[in-house]
Amino acid sequence: MSRRVVITGIGMITALGHNTCDNWQALINAKTGTGRITLFDPEGYESQVAGEVKDFDPTNYMERKEARRADRFTQFAFVAADEALKQSGYEITRESGTRVASIIGTAIGGITTLMQEYDVLRDRGPGRVSPFVVPMMLADMASGQLSIRTGARGVNYALVSACASGADCIGEAANIIRRGDADVALAGGAEAAVTPIAIAGFVAARALSTSWNHAPEQASRPFDKRRDGFIMAEGAGVLVLEAEEHARARGAHILAELAGYGATSDAFHITQPDENGEGAMRAMQLALKQAELDPDDIHYLNAHGTSTPMNDRLETLAVKRVFGDYAYSLPISSSKSMMGHLLGAAGAVEAGVCVMALQNGIIPPTANLEEPDVDCDLDYVPNVARSASLEAVMSNSLGFGGHNASLVFRRYEPAS
- Residues designated catalytic: 163, 304, 341
Give pLDDT, residue 272: 83
Question: How confident is the model over 363-391, as a mean pLDDT?
Answer: 97
Between strands 184-191 and 235-243, the pairing is: antiparallel
Give pLDDT, residue 1: 55
Give pLDDT, residue 246: 98
- pLDDT of 286 > 90? The answer is yes
Annotate 362-373 with DSSP letters as a single string: EE--BTT--SB-
H/E stretch holding 172: helix 165-178
81-111 burial string, b = 16+ CB within 10 Å, else e?
Answer: bbbbbebbebebeeebbebbbbbbbbbbbbb
- pLDDT of 308 > 70? The answer is yes
- pLDDT of 217 > 90? The answer is yes
H/E stretch holding 37: none
Pair 184, 94: CB distance under 8 Å: no
Q: Can you tell me the distance from the alpha carbon of 214 to that of 252, in angstroms, rounded to the nearest whole number?
A: 48
| Among the listed residues 16, 20, 54, 49, the one whose alpha carbon sits nearest the alpha carbon of residue 338 | 16
Question: Which DSSP symbol is given to 282?
Answer: H
State pLDDT tens for residues 391-400. Answer: 999 999 999 9
State pLDDT tens for residues 22-75. Answer: 999 999 999 999 999 999 999 999 999 999 999 999 999 999 999 999 999 999
CATH of domain 1-403: 3.40.47.10
Give pLDDT, residue 416: 67
Q: Can you tell me the distance from the alpha carbon of 394 to that of 284, in angstroms, rounded to the nearest whole number?
A: 8
Question: How confident is the model over 96-124, as a mean pLDDT?
Answer: 97
Annotate 58-126 with DSSP letters as a single string: GGGTS-HHHHHTS-HHHHHHHHHHHHHHHHHT----TTGGGGEEEEEE-SS-SHHHHHHHHHHHHHH-G
Please name every residue paired with 188 in a beta bridge, in sequence order, or none if there are none.
104, 238
Pair 111, 40: CB distance under 8 Å: no
Question: Where are the chain's structural domains?
Answer: 1-403
Pair 34, 342: CB distance under 8 Å: no
Q: Can you tell me the distance from the alpha carbon of 106 to that of 125, in angstroms, rounded to the nearest whole number?
A: 30
| Among the listed residues 307, 329, 317, 318, the one whose alpha carbon sits nearest the alpha carbon of residue 379 | 329
Pair 170, 351: CB distance under 8 Å: yes
State pLDDT tens for residues 122-169. Answer: 999 999 999 999 999 999 999 999 999 999 999 999 999 999 999 999
Give the global pTM: 0.97
Question: How confident is the model over 239-255, as a mean pLDDT?
Answer: 98
Express as a percent the part of the chain with pLDDT over 70: 100
